[in-house]
Amino acid sequence: MSMPKVNMEMVESASLNMEERDIVNIVVKKNTEVRASKPKVKDDVTGKAAYVWRMVCFSVSPKHQHHCMPVCADFDLPARNENGKWSSALAREMAKELNKLVDLITDAIPKEEWYGIHRWGKAFGMF
């Protein structure tokens, strides 16, 4: 089962900074498919990419295991306070900003390929 393809022209037309471009390049493979597995978290950028990937896959992946609620997705975010401890408040703020990138990637995928959205819609009687 192949992952959905992203219309990269739509993504590239947005004004993305270098970090956002790096995140997109981690989440979307060179052949414009969303990567099938979560990127390994090695640093701040890959932690953010893991979050973006998880949220995109929740909406568009054809793999059923990606459709479970992403309640722990923000644990990969580099949201550490001045003491070096992980902070849920910082993670929420970071997620709020990253969700714009999630929406940009998701919107660049044809709605017919929003498998997670369709599956949850059926569960709630929407489709």
| Phi then psi dihedrals of residue 120, to 5 deg | -70, -35
Which 3 state secondary structure label does DSSP give 38?
A: coil
Residue that has been written with the tokens 């959905």 in this structure: 4
CA distance 11 to 15: 9
User: Is the pTM above the cut of 0.85?
Assistant: yes
Over residues 10-66, the pLDDT tens digits come to 999 999 999 999 999 999 998 899 999 999 999 999 999 999 999 999 999 999 999
CA distance 50 to 40: 7
CA distance 118 to 18: 33
DSSP string, 112-127: GG-HHHHHHHHHTT--
